Amino acid sequence: MENRSQWGTRAGFILAAVGSAIGLGNIWRFPYVAYDNGGGAFFLPYLIALFTAGIPILIMEFTMGHKLRGSAPLTFSRLNKKSEFVGWFQVFVSFGISTYYAVIIGWAIAYSVFAFNLSWGSETGAFLMGDYLQAGDPGKFGSFVPGVLIPLLIVWAVVLSVLFKGVKKGIEAANKIFIPTLVVLFLIIVIRAVTLEGAAQGLNAFFQPSWSVLGDPTVWTAAYTQIFFSLSICFAIMITYSSYLPKKSDITNNAFITGLSNSGFELLAGIGVFSAIGFVAVSTGTGIADFAGDGVGLAFAIFPQIINQMPFLNGLFGFLFFASLVLAGLSSLISICETYIAAFQEKFNISRTKAVAFGGGLSALISLVYATQGGVHFLTAVDRYVLTVGVGLGGLIEVILIAWAIKKVKELQSHANGLSQIRLGSWWTICLTIITPILLGYMIVLQLINDFT
């Protein structure tokens, strides 16, 4: 097994890890989650989640992949024979995410074309659910919607062809193009957004802290969920990517770079999105709250409305916005798919080509369901289910397993410390063994009580 694929350069690995982390979650998820959960006050639970769970777990997963050199199931089984199932659980969740993540990227492709002529018209919400998605009746699944199907096939063609080419020539090469391009596009968008009239009002609404929400456990759950989803941790991804690192790699440092870049991008997205919302609220004489909708609505109904209102070159701005969603999404989707491709390759001892064809093909096939009339309702349900079950529970199982069931924290700590100038001390061990399991466990229990009473 020692002719394992490897990243070509350190920058290549970091770009791929950052590419996985920066995704739809940063651009459309973070802004509305923060706004809904205390605005400026949300940064407190968010930063606590980042430094007690996000970065410590990222370091742990990088170390596991680097030390044990396997896909997630193989890495977990090398840590302890009985824990292979944890890896499969994570791979399974990633598989579920990949089936609908691809669809949202497909919508973004379609919308980047619509942007040029503003062909979504003035009733952007009705256009999204009616003309474009033909959402119709939740229970009734009709035939394919060509405007959704064709972009979806394009997404899979790109993703599968990157994955066929392998780690260095495929994933690394793609991220070296996608991520720098994304950063440039996004900076243009944010600069344009903050210079719009009304931007200040939007930013005030976004950053205004409502401290009283900090007593509400759902706000803390929202912060932890956002960090786990946004950093792509506990989804088998970072273990898989770090298993392709060369022997000499400063993993702790790489984890800090990845974690901080992701949060930086998230903050930038929040500033851009809320500046734009402030602009549309001021120019239409309505309130900010009318526009700070949920994820799908924010990107695909409210943003088109903002673009309609913009003074000049609005078509181009719209194109840049949706193109940046596409780039951010593709690099994350590639990483999600790599988890099961690597796992199938090792488990069934098959070639990469076969694993991509089978695993990617299966996910692509399932994703077609969402490209039918009514498919969007199915997508929303799967998203909610996968997120609640996958993220919280997946994280809790992973930390309890490693910190308590098989007690591997010390071993991983010395592996990481042997490679880095940054020494992991008691901050790291206390976060993993005590703070994170207690907080996650407490939040999940409260959430269950909330859901079932």
Nearer to ligand PFF, 94 or 363 (CB): 94
- In 3D space, the residue among 281, 266, 263, 262 whose CA is nearest the CA of residue 205 turns out to be 281
The residue from 52, 112, 134, 332 that contacts ligand PFF (CB under 6 A) is 332
Given candidates 25, 73, 147, 375, which one binds ligand PFF under the rule CB under 6 A?
Answer: 25
In the complex, the smallest distance separating the C-beta of residue 29 from ligand PFF, rounded to whole angstroms, is 7
The alpha carbon dihedral of 404, 407, 412, 417 has a sign of positive
- Among ligand PFF, Na ion, none, the one that 37 touches (CB under a kind-dependent 5 to 8 A) is none
Q: Which of residues 52-111 bind ligand PFF (CB under 6 A)?
A: 94, 97
Q: In angstroms, what is the minimal distance from the CB of 109 to ligand PFF?
A: 16
Would you tell me how many other CB atoms lie within 10 Å of the CB of residue 385? 11
Does residue number 23 form part of the binding site for ligand PFF (CB under 6 A)? yes
Provide, rounded to whole angstroms, the least separation between the CB of residue 422 and Na ion.
23
Q: What are residue 144's DSSP bridge partners? A: 372
Q: 94 contacts which partner out of Na ion, ligand PFF, none, CB within 5 to 8 A by kind? A: ligand PFF
Other CB atoms within 10 Å distance of the CB of residue 371: 24
Question: Smaller CB distance to Na ion: residue 63 or 261?
Answer: 261
- DSSP conformational letter for 435: I
For position 229 contacting ligand PFF by CB under 6 A, the verdict is yes
End-to-end CA separation in angstroms for the chain: 51
State the minimum distance, in angstroms, from the CB of residue 229 to Na ion.
Answer: 7
**Binding to ligand PFF by residue 336, rule CB under 6 A?**
yes
Residue type at position 26: N
Residue 336, contacted partner among Na ion, ligand PFF, none, CB below 5-8 A by kind: ligand PFF
Which one of 230, 254, 345, 413 is in contact with ligand PFF (CB under 6 A)?
Answer: 230
Coil vs helix vs strand at 281: helix
Residue-wise DSSP of 17-36: HHHHHSSHIIIIIHHHHHHH
When binding is defined by CB under 6 A, the residue of 14, 16, 17, 24 that contacts ligand PFF is: 24
Please check whether residue 183 is in contact with residue 308, taking contact to mean a CB–CB distance below 8 angstroms: no
Exposed, middle or buried: residue 366 (CB in 10 Å: 0-12, 13-18, 19+)? middle
Question: Contact 256/17 with Cβ under 8 angstroms?
Answer: no
- Determine whether 387 is exposed, middle or buried from the number of CB atoms within 10 Å of its CB (0-12, 13-18, 19+): middle
Q: Report the residue number, 258 or 275, with the smaller CB distance to ligand PFF.
A: 258
Find, among 42, 170, 100, 62, the residue nearest to 420 by Cα.
62
Nearer to Na ion, 26 or 252 (CB): 26
Residues in region 243-272 near ligand PFF by CB under 6 A: none
- Name the binder of 332 from Na ion, ligand PFF, none, CB < 5-8 A by kind: ligand PFF
Residue ranges binding Na ion (CB under 5 A): 21, 23, 25-26, 230
CB of 336 to ligand PFF, least distance (A): 4
- Ramachandran region, residue 6 (left: φ > 0; alpha: ψ -120 to 50; beta: rest): beta
- Binding segment (CB under 6 A) for ligand PFF, from list 164-172, 295-303, 328-336, 422-430: 328-336
Report what 97 binds from Na ion, ligand PFF, none; CB cut-off 5-8 Å by kind. Answer: ligand PFF
Q: Which of 120, 235, 244, 274 binds ligand PFF (CB under 6 A)?
A: 235
Its sign, for the CA torsion 21, 189, 108, 282, is positive
Using CB under 6 A, list all residues that contact ligand PFF.
Answer: 20-21, 23-26, 94, 97, 229-230, 232, 235, 237, 332, 335-336
